[in-house]
């Protein structure tokens, strides 16, 4: 389930020179507008031919300019969700959705029609044609069309950009399931760090046609400064939690990790289930002594392992809470006021309502 | 001012040569517009700037004369022609044209190429001749009517049709066909090319050209092309 | 309205014209689509030549086209002999020949219209179909073709109308045999060539116009329906 | 190559043909665009009728079209008189008439091609221009027209090629007067009507084909350049 | 500078029945995918003709089906940024940008070409044609094209959806300036509460073709439950602050409001400047007694004015901090643990790094 990409290509004045490999899971391509994200997945998808380079999945070579290999798009079994939906205007929504299905042997099908339709909330549109659908409706159908074709590699180009938060919140878990259960590698282009943080197992950061950072999501998200511009605001840490129980009294889900006990919004799990949470660095409040009478339910004792200055007025504080590694972002002013130093014992405090499972 | 002549297209070779010798001898020229007689007649009716009209048959001349568009004084029967039965040059068909001759048998399942038998003069003459000879009914179903007599000739020359009826003038000039026989002159209306000045024409040289057409130089050229010269001094 | 009544021969010509034009259109449509697609989407050596060849019948005088057809597809022509021995298909003096002439003459119009509408199909939709696993032929049939449908309909009907009106090449190639190759335009032409034939020509012209108009209107309605379907609901 | 040499008259015919076809195309282009736009984007009573009228020359035998033109635009025809008195424009038996005949015959082809490409212009781009304050005529000139340009080029050249090849209507309407109305196809026709004219016909045909092909190739290159510009850089 | 809209229209099975008025400024149309947002601005822009209804700005009637008035789009002087960019493919970027300029008298021009181009970062694209631009590049040009035409009413349909955070952060202040300085009313469609919260002066919430809430942004954002679905997560309060000074030592901007002193990331202001900040309800931590040794710099004393249960496990706590009204979102469990009641004195705590001026 791996993907290896190495590409060089010139597009007018724009030069693309990219190499990364992904061990499977969901690889996010992240970078500012015009950095080459769409071009890269066009080449993975077989819509563009790189001037030189090689792309392979699980040893299957899709392109290799050295041996003049070029597998045409329709033999790649990719599901491509385009930045513009590109629905077939002459077909009904239903026909659009099932278009790719016939090319997949029954045994290899995994994108169930009814389930996908229900999830995307497009059941009432099945007999319409795309022209007069709203922007978000089109995009949902484009997602469905790619998934129902049960591809072996999924390419998604900002699939959620035109969806409202509620709809996003419904679809994101679906993409997670796809990543985890169907074991289909996904290459996911997004501007949204929140999405990337939640979904990505690996992140490739592009900048003006080059890879400026690449690696497991955990590392990239923690190395916040690597993310360009305002995206840094969204960085944080990802932790693995064990489900303990649904607390009858508070109505909250209780989890455990080396750091201690976690309170999260309610969710259906069985004891022992493991989930990940993403804790935004800017959501962590630090305190130098135990606090009382505060509304926040998640308080962990830890030790400062590093102080990393970031923008002019801010600083990143790496914490080790009994083995769980967290990063907090606070003002330098606060850090000075609190007299933080490496090795100092502190409390990390997070509000329950700011936490979400992923 | 050159004289404007409207002439049947089949006269092109002869008239171009005569025009050249006229201009060499007299220093005057004619501009000649060649087309089908029907088109030319209708154009004269609609006010075309023609000074002289030379038709391939009498009907269209009569059409204009009824409408007082030609100077009937000047009208004359200029040329005559014959119709012949032709076969491809490499064919061995032997047939003598006589009343009741076995044209149908000679055709076999082939076609008899003719110009349009209702509309085009050569076709009409041919049909009349076959009727006179009493063989029309036996071949009526086998006739392939071409747009004009040249096209009919072409069908025979290419071997598409084993036999065809065309003008003598066309047949003698075409190496790919052989004349099988000539139709008796009394088997159809006389084949006549009439000429006349138009009433609308103002060019005084037109009469001179018409005269020249009947002169000795013109006669030689017409006869070289295979026409019979009917009018002359 | 009595003068509108048709003689049996004329009825035959009307039926034959429709028959011939329909075949000409239907049989050339697949080739038309293929050639249009090749011109629109491929680049290959000789593309300019192919494009020129397709347009040739538009440029040549129809009589020349007819003559070339005669040379190639006539009884003694190389292609004519090929089709006769291989497929048992004879063109000369048959309605099949009339259909061939109509098809050749209408081909440039058909190809142009189809080509324009194939060029207007967004290639990114074809790409999208490719990523869904569809092989090129399937993409062509399910994406390109349906999206180009309005142009294909337009091209087909244009070709039909042209084939209905075709005359010069047809009469040169297969002549004018009532019941077999005498199409409506040939019949009209015959009328125009004789004095007093105007009424007859007018009558047949009206019929030709009526048939072609009906086809045009039908195509408009069809194309609009196709378009409306694509625009949504 | 000696047989390829042209006589002065033939040179005149070549020049005249190009001149006439250029005028026919240029003068009808604005009307072609207007009619195509109306058919593509408006709905109005009589639209089907207009559409039919435009296609009429495609359906009618050219001889009939030519005859109708003669009746309407001849010296005595109502439209002919109108244009003469109002604009001082005379069609009958002038090159202007040949241009008119060519334009009429080519009009359906021109309109079809332009219409198809106007229909392919995304109306949402026109809407976008509207929101930016552009009045409809400006939108038409700066958005619709440039986007339809490939089709307009195709239609124009198609019309030019057709006008270059037009013969039946032209010779019927304005006759075949050397230096005035004798276009290349008329000259070719004349050659086919006499014995021994084949070489001459062939020679002129090659020239006609060469000119039209040059126009076609030029249009292809032009259209491709326009398309490439739109695709980006 | 007002806008009055009242519309009824049927689109297939979808019925639109909308009425709202806006006093000018930026009116956000907010609602889930398919709720009718694009249809409404299409009618304002003159691209669709409502079956019945009336639209007017400042008394100028754009549509009135009762009197059969319909001002065509090109006479409305609107700038429409479409959901799909709709650039003219045959024109260069520069020609696209200046397309609408010629229709505006010099005196009425306010969208400066050079400034707009610089701001949108599209200077290097001016001589290219749109076809091969990236999605975000196209959208930036579409924004520029609408603004350079100096319209009297701006319609924006998810203009920032395809932009990365850094670019968004640059463009948002520009839209704010437009709203505040040019005094052009803006109708702004967005899914993003963060954007809406920052930009909107008024909000109209659409749901299945009807207005489910409408009013000043302050009211709508505070009444969080009115916002559909997950959008509620993004609700909060807007406050007006007075700039005091840039603190040399901490590098932070200091502001004042009735509630007390605020620390915000550094910014260029003159003393006395007034800015608004949006405080997300989920960013406020409550404490029942004064805290010490915490990293958060913004701590305000206030009084609970209302406790409003929202989703199953959460509660909204309205606070009055000396006249400044804040709303906090905490778990019910915390509220119970802290024994909150109406009238109780509490501390509201917000991290500086979670605050942004708007
Ligand atoms: N001509 C039509 N016929 C039938 N339904 C239509 C038509 N036009 C639009 N609709 C429907 O009207 C609804 C509103 O569409 P609209 O584009 O206004 O939504 P929107 O709020 O802009 O959505 P999005 O956020 O996804 O862009 C959609 O459900 C759409 O499918
Ligand atoms: N054919 C071309 N000629 C010149 N430049 C091109 C061409 N195709 C793409 N580009 C440029 O290459 C760059 C990368 O484009 P790409 O679409 O891959 O960006 P992206 O990262 O997907 O951006 P976005 O997030 O805005 O969609 C852009 O600056 C674009 O303008
Ligand atoms: Mg992109
Ligand atoms: Mg929308």
User: Chain D partners of B17 at a C-beta cutoff of 8 Å?
Assistant: none
Q: Which two tokens stand for residue C171?
A: 């009469």
Contact: chain A with chain C (3+ CB pairs below 8 Å)? yes
Q: Using alpha carbons, select from A346, A258, A264 the residue that is nearest to residue A298.
A: A264
A99 and A223 part of one domain: yes
Paired strand residues for A276: A240
| Residue with CA at minimum distance from ligand 1 atom 25 | E33
Record: contact C52-D188, CB cut-off 8 A: no
Neighbours of C227 (CB within 10 A): 13
Record: contact D193-B34, CB cut-off 8 A: yes
D-facing residues of E in 270-329 (CB < 8 A) are: none
User: Chain C partners of B89 at a C-beta cutoff of 8 Å?
Assistant: none
Backbone angles phi, psi at A187, to 5 degrees: -110, 125
Q: Which of A28-32, C98-102, C125-129 has the lowest mean pLDDT?
A: A28-32
pLDDT at A94: 95
Q: Is D209 on the interface with C (CB under 8 A)?
A: yes
Confidence class for position A230, pLDDT limits 50, 70, 90: very low
Mutate to test the pocket of ligand 1, among E28, E34, E196 (most ligand atoms within 8 A of CB): E34
Domain-ending residue, one of E176, E204, E231 = E231
Which is it for the CA torsion D202, D203, D204, D206, positive or negative? positive
Q: How far is A107 from chain E (nearest CA, A)?
A: 35
How much distance in Å is there from the Cα of A36 to the middle of ligand 2?
Answer: 5
How much distance in Å is there from the Cα of A10 to the middle of ligand 3?
Answer: 16
Tell whether A163 is covered by a domain.
yes
Q: Using alpha carbons, select from B88, B89, B80, B81 the residue that is nearest to residue B164.
A: B88
| Residue with CA at minimum distance from ligand 2 atom 24 | A33
Q: Is A297 helix (H, G, I), strand (E, B) or coil?
A: coil
A248 and A205 part of one domain: no
Q: How far is C35 from chain D (nearest CA, A)?
A: 15
How much distance in Å is there from the Cα of E136 to the middle of ligand 3?
Answer: 7
Q: Which residue has the higher pLDDT, A352 or C33?
A: C33
Q: pLDDT tens across E78-115, in order?
A: 899 988 889 999 999 999 999 999 898 888 888 789 98
The domain total for chain C is 1
A220 and A290 part of one domain: no
> Any idea which ligand is nearest the CA of E18?
1
Which domain range does residue A117 map to? 3-231
Q: Which residues of chain D have pLDDT under 70?
A: 1-4, 231-233
Q: Which of A40-44, B147-151, B206-210, E3-7 has the lowest mean pLDDT?
A: B147-151
Contact: chain C with chain D (3+ CB pairs below 8 Å)? yes
Paired strand residues for B33: B6
Residue A318: give its domain's CATH number. 2.40.50.100
Q: For E131, which of D125, D142, D232 is closest by C-beta distance?
A: D232
Q: Is B179 on the interface with D (CB under 8 A)?
A: no
pLDDT at E230: 47
| Contact residues for E346 (Cβ-Cβ < 8 A; gap 6+) | E286, E287, E288, E301, E302, E303, E304, E317, E319, E338, E340
Record: contact D52-C120, CB cut-off 8 A: no
Interface test with C, best of B145, B150, B157, B163 (most C CBs within 10 A): B145
CA distance D22 to D16: 10
Cβ E39 under 6 angstroms from ligand 1 = yes
Which domain range does residue D181 map to? 2-230
Residue D68: give its domain's CATH number. 1.10.3720.10
Q: How far is D104 from chain E (nearest CA, A)?
A: 32
User: Chain E partners of A83 at a C-beta cutoff of 8 Å?
Assistant: 135, 162
CA distance D101 to E28: 61
Please name the residue of chain C whose CA is at the shortest distance from the CA of residue D214.
C52
Record: contact A166-E297, CB cut-off 8 A: no
| Residue with CA at minimum distance from ligand 2 atom 17 | E134
pLDDT at A223: 63
Q: For C193, which of B119, B144, B159 is closest by C-beta distance?
A: B119
E215 and E302 part of one domain: no
Tell whether E299 is covered by a domain.
yes
E198 and E327 part of one domain: no
Domain-ending residue, one of E192, E214, E231 = E231
pLDDT over 50 (residue C179): yes
Q: Which two tokens stand for residue B71?
A: 């100077």
A47 and A195 part of one domain: yes
CA distance B37 to B41: 6
How much distance in Å is there from the Cα of E289 to the middle of ligand 2?
Answer: 55
Q: pLDDT tens across E139-180, in order?
A: 889 999 999 998 989 999 988 887 777 777 777 877 887 887
Mutate to test the pocket of ligand 2, among E124, E128, E133, E143 (most ligand atoms within 8 A of CB): E133
Tell whether E95 is covered by a domain.
yes
Cβ E190 under 6 angstroms from ligand 1 = no
Q: pLDDT tens across A287-338, in order?
A: 998 888 888 889 999 999 988 887 668 888 999 999 898 888 888 888 999 9
Q: For B173, which of D175, D176, D196 is closest by C-beta distance?
A: D196
E217 and E241 part of one domain: no
pLDDT at A1: 67
CA atoms within 13 A on the CB side of D169: 29
pLDDT at A216: 87
A195 and A330 part of one domain: no
Cβ A135 under 6 angstroms from ligand 1 = yes
pLDDT at C2: 58
Report the pocket of ligand 2 as residue ranges, CB < 6 Å: A 11-12, 14, 31, 33-39, 83; D 232; E 132-137
How much distance in Å is there from the Cα of E244 to the middle of ligand 4?
Answer: 42
How much distance in Å is there from the Cα of E82 to the middle of ligand 4?
Answer: 9
E51 and E132 part of one domain: yes
Tell whether A358 is covered by a domain.
no
Q: Which of E119-123, E310-314, E347-351 has the lowest mean pLDDT?
A: E310-314
Record: contact D135-E86, CB cut-off 8 A: no
Token pair 């034009």 in the structure block, residue: C21
Neighbours of A320 (CB within 10 A): 16
Residue A37: give its domain's CATH number. 3.40.50.300
| Contact residues for B35 (Cβ-Cβ < 8 A; gap 6+) | B6, B8, B9, D171, D172, D175, D176, D186, D189
Tell whether A249 is covered by a domain.
yes
B/e letters for C123-161, b = 16+ CB within 10 Å, e = fewer, are eebbbbbbbbbbeeebbbebbbbbbbbbbbbbbbbbbbb
> Any idea which ligand is nearest the CA of E138?
2
A50 and A144 part of one domain: yes
Neighbours of C13 (CB within 10 A): 27
- The most confident of the ranges E1-5, E208-212, E218-222, E266-270 is E208-212
E215 and E267 part of one domain: no
Confidence class for position C232, pLDDT limits 50, 70, 90: low
Q: What mean pLDDT comes out for the span B73-97?
A: 89
Q: What mean pLDDT comes out for the span B225-229?
A: 88
Confidence class for position A358, pLDDT limits 50, 70, 90: low
Domain-ending residue, one of E231, E248, E266 = E231
> Any idea which ligand is nearest the CA of A162?
1
Neighbours of E121 (CB within 10 A): 18
Q: For E74, which of D125, D134, D147 is closest by C-beta distance?
A: D134
Q: Is D93 on the interface with B (CB under 8 A)?
A: yes
Please name the residue of chain E whose CA is at the shortest distance from the CA of residue A231.
E165
Q: Are strands B163-167 and B3-8 parallel, antiparallel or unpaired?
A: unpaired
Confidence class for position E249, pLDDT limits 50, 70, 90: confident
Q: For C176, which of B62, B145, B154 is closest by C-beta distance?
A: B145
Taking a 5 Å cut-off on Cβ, the residues next to ion ligand 3 are A 38, 83; E 134-135
Q: What mean pLDDT comes out for the span A217-225?
A: 70
CA distance C77 to A228: 75
Cβ A133 under 6 angstroms from ligand 1 = yes
- Asked whether B60 and C195 are in contact (CB, 8 A), the reply is yes
The domain total for chain E is 2
Q: How far is CA C205 from CA A194, B119, C190, D166, in A?
A: 74, 17, 12, 20
Q: Which helix (H) or strand (E) is D164 found in, with range?
A: helix D149-165
E155 and E89 part of one domain: yes
Q: Using alpha carbons, select from E32, E38, E39, E9 the residue that is nearest to residue E212.
A: E32
Q: How far is E90 from chain A (nearest CA, A)?
A: 18
Q: Is C193 on the interface with B (CB under 8 A)?
A: yes
User: Chain D partners of C52 at a C-beta cutoff of 8 Å?
Assistant: 213, 216-217
Tell whether A357 is covered by a domain.
no
Q: pLDDT tens across A107-158, in order?
A: 888 878 998 898 888 999 999 999 888 888 888 899 999 999 989 899 999 8
pLDDT over 50 (residue C233): no
Q: pLDDT tens across C135-147, in order?
A: 999 999 999 999 9
pLDDT at D233: 46
Q: Is C2 on the interface with A (CB under 8 A)?
A: no
């Amino acid at each position: 389930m791996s993907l290896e990409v190495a590409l060089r290509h010139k597009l007018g004045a724009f030069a693309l020179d990219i190499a990364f490999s992904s061990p499977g899971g969901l690889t996010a391509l992240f970078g500012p507008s015009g950095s080459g994200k769409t071009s890269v997945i066009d080449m993975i998808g077989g819509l563009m031919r790189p001037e030189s380079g090689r792309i392979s999945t699980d040893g299957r070579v899709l392109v290799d300019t050295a041996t003049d290999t070029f597998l045409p798009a329709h033999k790649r079994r990719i599901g491509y969700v385009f930045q513009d939906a590109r629905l077939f205007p002459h077909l009904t929504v239903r026909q659009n959705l099932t278009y790719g299905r016939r090319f997949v042997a029954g045994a290899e099908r995994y994108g169930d029609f009814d389930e996908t339709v229900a999830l995307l909330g497009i059941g009432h549109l099945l007999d319409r044609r795309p022209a007069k659908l709203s922007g978000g409706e089109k995009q949902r159908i484009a997602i469905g069309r790619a998934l129902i074709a049960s591809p072996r590699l999924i390419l998604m180009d900002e699939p959620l950009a035109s969806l409202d938060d509620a709809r996003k919140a419904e679809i994101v878990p679906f993409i997670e399931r796809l990543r985890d259960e169907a074991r289909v590698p996904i290459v996911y282009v997004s501007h949204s760090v929140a999405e990337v943080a939640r979904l990505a197992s690996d992140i490739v950061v592009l900048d003006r046609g080059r890879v400026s950072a690449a690696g497991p999501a955990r590392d990239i998200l923690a190395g916040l400064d690597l993310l360009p511009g305002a995206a840094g605001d969204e960085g944080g840490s990802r932790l693995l939690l064990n489900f303990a129980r649904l607390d009858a009294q508070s109505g909250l889900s209780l989890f455990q990790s080396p750091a201690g006990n976690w309170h999260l919004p309610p969710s259906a799990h069985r004891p022992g289930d493991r989930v990940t949470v993403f804790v935004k660095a800017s959501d962590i409040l630090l305190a130098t002594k135990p606090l009382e009478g505060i509304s926040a339910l998640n308080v962990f004792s830890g030790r400062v392992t590093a102080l990393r200055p970031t923008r002019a007025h801010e600083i990143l504080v790496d914490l080790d809470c009994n083995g769980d590694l967290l990063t907090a972002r606070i003002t330098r002013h606060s850090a000075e006021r609190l007299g933080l130093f490496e090795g100092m014992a502190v409390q990390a405090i997070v509000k329950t309502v700011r936490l979400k499972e992923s | 001012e050159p004289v404007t002549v409207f002439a049947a297209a089949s006269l092109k070779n002869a008239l171009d040569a005569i025009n050249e010798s006229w201009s060499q001898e007299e220093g005057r020229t004619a501009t000649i517009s060649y087309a089908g007689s029907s088109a030319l007649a209708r154009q004269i009716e609609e006010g075309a700037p023609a000074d002289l009209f030379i038709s391939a048959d009498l009907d269209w001349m009569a059409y204009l004369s009824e409408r007082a568009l030609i100077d009937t004084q000047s009208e004359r029967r200029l040329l005559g022609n014959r119709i012949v039965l032709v076969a491809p040059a490499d064919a061995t068909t032997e047939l003598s044209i006589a009343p009741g001759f076995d044209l149908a048998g000679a055709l076999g399942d082939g076609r008899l190429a003719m110009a349009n038998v209702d509309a085009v003069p050569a076709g009409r003459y041919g049909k009349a001749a076959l009727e006179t000879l009493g063989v029309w009914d036996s071949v009526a179903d086998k006739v392939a009517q071409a747009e004009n007599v040249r096209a009919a000739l072409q069908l025979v020359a290419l071997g598409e049709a084993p036999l065809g009826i065309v003008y003598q003038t066309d047949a003698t000039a075409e190496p790919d066909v052989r004349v099988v026989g000539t139709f008796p002159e009394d088997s159809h209306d006389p084949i006549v090319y009439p000429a006349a000045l138009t009433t609308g024409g103002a060019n005084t040289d037109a009469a001179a050209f018409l005269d020249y057409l009947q002169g000795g130089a013109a006669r030689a050229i017409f006869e070289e092309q295979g026409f019979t010269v009917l009018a002359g001094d | 309205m009595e003068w509108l009544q048709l003689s049996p021969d004329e009825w035959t010509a009307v039926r034959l014209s429709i028959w011939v034009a329909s075949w000409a259109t239907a049989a050339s449509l697949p080739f038309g689509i293929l050639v249009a697609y090749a011109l629109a989407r491929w680049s290959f050596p000789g593309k300019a030549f192919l494009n020129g060849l397709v347009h040739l019948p538009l440029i040549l005088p129809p009589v020349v086209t007819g003559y070339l057809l005669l040379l190639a597809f006539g009884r003694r022509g190389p292609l004519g002999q090929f089709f006769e021995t291989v497929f048992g298909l004879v063109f000369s003096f048959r309605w099949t020949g009339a259909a061939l002439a109509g098809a050749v003459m209408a081909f440039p119009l058909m190809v142009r219209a189809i080509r324009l509408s194939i060029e207007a199909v967004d290639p990114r939709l074809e790409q999208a179909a490719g990523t869904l696993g569809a092989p090129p032929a399937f993409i062509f049939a399910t994406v390109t073709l349906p999206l180009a449908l309005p142009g294909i309909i337009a091209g087909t009907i244009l070709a039909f109308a042209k084939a209905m009106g075709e005359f010069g090449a047809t009469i040169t190639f297969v002549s004018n045999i009532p019941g077999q190759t005498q199409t409506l335009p040939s019949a009209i032409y015959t009328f125009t060539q004789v004095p007093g034939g105007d009424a007859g020509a007018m009558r047949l012209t009206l019929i030709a116009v009526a048939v072609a108009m009906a086809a045009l209107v039908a195509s408009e309605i069809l194309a609009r329906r196709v378009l409306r379907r694509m625009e949504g609901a």
